[in-house]
């Protein structure tokens, strides 16, 4: 059985868990808060001490976007959540890089800094967030989904931290197309909304 090490509030883990559910794969979810991630046992699995980690028999993967690509290429034979052609794949990969770049250092970092006592500059993270949200909002004026004419792992990767951007002090007022897209993602059968910090 597949094992997924994550936490309930990790957007990186959320994107992987949603894909596992959408692909109807059996998996065991293992809670891995900070105190677990610094143990010798955990560091043997991932020396970086990061989540999520996916173990599929002999395959051990970290980095959420790497895991998404692995899962669709191994288990999504009809490309429901991916693309068959190289151009479509390139479009999806572009958004995966945005998720691990601008979104990670914008909305995700602002949330961690504001609510989890992160040590980054909140103002800088919020400014980055507004820059990428403007870009995404303009993109979604013309398109229903981020990469293709259907929901893909690109949307799953970008959704979590944008959906809870307000937890980082970032209002989505003025980003009407982003708000529409969040609603569309959450209306897909099998997808759970990104959990909020209580």
- Give the model's confidence band at 87: pLDDT under 50 very low, under 70 low, under 90 confident, else very high: very high
pLDDT of residue 117: 78
- Give the model's confidence band at 118: pLDDT under 50 very low, under 70 low, under 90 confident, else very high: confident
Topology agreement, domain 2-75 and domain 86-187: no
Q: Kindly report the CATH number that applies to the domain delimited by 2-75.
A: 3.40.30.10
How distant is the alpha carbon of residue 63 from its chain centre? 10
Is residue 162 within 8 A of residue 182, CB to CB? The reply is yes
Span 129-185, pLDDT tens digits: 999 999 999 999 999 999 999 999 999 999 999 999 999 999 999 999 999 999 999
For the ranges 17-21, 39-43, 129-133, the lowest mean pLDDT is seen at 39-43
pLDDT of residue 119: 75
Count of other CB atoms within 10 angstroms of residue 27: 17
What pairing do the DSSP bridges indicate for beta strands 2-6 and 27-31? Answer: parallel
- E-strand ranges in the chain read 2-6, 27-31, 53-56, 59-62
Is residue 126 within 8 A of residue 169, CB to CB? The reply is yes
SS3 for 56? strand
Distance CA 103, CA 129 (A): 7
Q: What is the mean pLDDT of residues 80-99?
A: 98
Class of domain 86-187: mainly alpha
For the chain, give the longest Cα–Cα distance: 49
How distant is the alpha carbon of residue 189 from its chain centre? 18
pLDDT of residue 126: 97
pTM: 0.95
Residue-range domain boundaries for the chain: 2-75, 86-187
């Amino acid at each position: 059985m597949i094992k997924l090490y994550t936490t309930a509030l990790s957007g990186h883990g959320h994107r992987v868990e949603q894909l596992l559910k959408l692909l109807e794969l059996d998996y065991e979810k293992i809670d891995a808060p900070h105190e677990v991630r610094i143990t010798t046992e955990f560091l043997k699995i991932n020396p970086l001490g990061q989540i999520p980690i996916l173990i599929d028999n002999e395959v051990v993967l970290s980095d959420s976007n790497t895991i998404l690509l692995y899962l669709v290429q191994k288990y999504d034979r009809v490309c429901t959540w991916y693309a068959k052609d190289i151009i479509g794949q390139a479009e999806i990969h572009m958004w995966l890089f945005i998720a691990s770049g601008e979104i990670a250092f914008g909305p995700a970092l602002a949330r961690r800094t504001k609510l989890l006592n992160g040590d980054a500059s909140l103002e800088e993270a919020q400014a980055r967030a507004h820059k990428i949200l403007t870009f995404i909002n303009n993109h979604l004026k013309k398109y229903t989904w981020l990469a293709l004419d259907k929901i893909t792992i690109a949307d799953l990767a970008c959704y979590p931290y944008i959906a809870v951007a307000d937890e980082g002090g970032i209002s989505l007022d003025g980003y009407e197309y982003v708000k529409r897209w969040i609603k569309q993602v959450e209306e897909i059968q099998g997808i759970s909304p990104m959990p909020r910090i209580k």
